[in-house]
Amino acid sequence: MSIAAVTATRDAPASAILPARGGMLGALSDLFWRRPRFLLVLMLMPPLLWLGVVYIGSLLALLLQSFFSIDEFSGLINRQFTLKTYADLLQPANFDIIVRTVTMAALVTLASIAVAFPIAYYAARYAQGRWKALFYLAVMLPLWSSYLVKVYAWKLILAKEGILTWFLAKLHLLWLLDGWLALPYVGGNSLSVSATGTFIAFVYVWLPFMILPMQAALERVPGNLVEASSDLGASPGQTFRNVLFPLALPGIVAGSIFTFSLTLGDYIVPQIIGTSRLFIGQAVYSQQGTAGNIPLAAAFAVVPIVIMAFYLWGAKRMGAFDAL
């Protein structure tokens, strides 16, 4: 190839080396090679259009609706900008729902941490080879099992005539159950219609979401740090408080994002196992369904978004995202 030919095709370097391909597919292939940005845009376009239009569009629609209000007499939605719906959230009945949900989410998160830690620590530090794979599957299978079936299983367990009552009766501990159910707030007619039942079911359903990031964080703690701590005379409790826990904290915070967020938004667990007192998710569901008050439902739905935004901001500062 002469120098003149090379300079003539300088704008198209690919054809300077190889002759251009024939046919439409060949031309297209050459175009992608010469203009990688074009291919990039082509590849990104469908997913971004889908997520941008369907998802972000819907979120904006939700936000928009939360600034509308409902006419209390006609039940029609008044499409004018107002903050009245947000003010409605502060009414005692509605504010109670928010406080109740956030309290439950916090308690569920703390309990998940306590139950998940031994499993995650054992899997990270002591299990190896086939046991490690087995541990991983043992956490992953419940994570992916049907959510409804898991909730249903707890309905069976906690029912008055169910296995838990039977088990406690065998141990002659029924007085303990009755005493607990007689307490205000946490008690009820049976565990399956009490706040305690809701709490247990929540912990069960979200536990794997806590174990996995916690285990990932604990895998990164060098074992010799723990040994050094005990060599220097720390008791197991001190080692846990001063060495293990601070190093595992990013993973714990990462797991707590899931347990907290999922509890905030759930409406099925408290509906199936629980009292008639509402949670945010149930409020959203009933406001948009039977009550037909979409603006109030939208405003309720914005609450978890705002809480999670603050939570994520705090978690990012603690380095939780590196543990995901």
Partner 1 sequence: MRSDRSQSAPLGLKIAATCGLLFLHLPILLIFVYAFTTEEKSYQWPPPGLTTQWLAVTWNRPDVWEALSLSVRVAAISTLVAMILGTLCAAAVSRSRFFGREAVSLLVILPIALPGIITGIALRSAFSLTEIPFSFWTIVLGHATFCVVVVYNNAVARFRRTSGSLIEASYDLGADGFQTFRHVVLPNIATALLAGGMLAFALSFDEVIVTTFTAGQQQTLPIWMLEELIRPRQRPVTNVVAMVVVLVTLLPILLAYYLTRDGDQVAGSGK
Element (H, E) at 70: strand 69-70
Rg value, the chain, Cα: 28
Beta carbon nearer to partner 1, 51 or 182 = 51
Report how far Cα 209 is from the mean position of its chain's Cα atoms.
8
Beta carbon nearer to partner 1, 3 or 37 = 37
Which alpha helices (H) appear in the chain, and where do they start and end? 3-8, 13-17, 23-34, 36-50, 57-66, 84-89, 92-125, 130-144, 147-158, 163-170, 174-181, 195-219, 223-231, 236-239, 245-265, 269-272, 280-288, 294-317
The C-alpha atoms of residue 117 and residue 98 are separated, in whole angstroms, by 29
The C-alpha atoms of residue 84 and residue 60 are separated, in whole angstroms, by 19
Smallest separation (angstroms) from partner 1 to the CB of 147: 6
Smallest separation (angstroms) from partner 1 to the CB of 156: 5
Beta carbon nearer to partner 1, 1 or 17 = 17
Smallest separation (angstroms) from partner 1 to the CB of 86: 16
Smallest separation (angstroms) from partner 1 to the CB of 25: 6
Smallest separation (angstroms) from partner 1 to the CB of 320: 13
Beta carbon nearer to partner 1, 195 or 257 = 257
- Which residues are CB-neighbours of 168 under 8 A, at least 6 positions away? 174, 176, 177
Smallest separation (angstroms) from partner 1 to the CB of 4: 26
The C-alpha atoms of residue 111 and residue 88 are separated, in whole angstroms, by 32
Beta carbon nearer to partner 1, 8 or 322 = 322
Beta carbon nearer to partner 1, 79 or 96 = 79
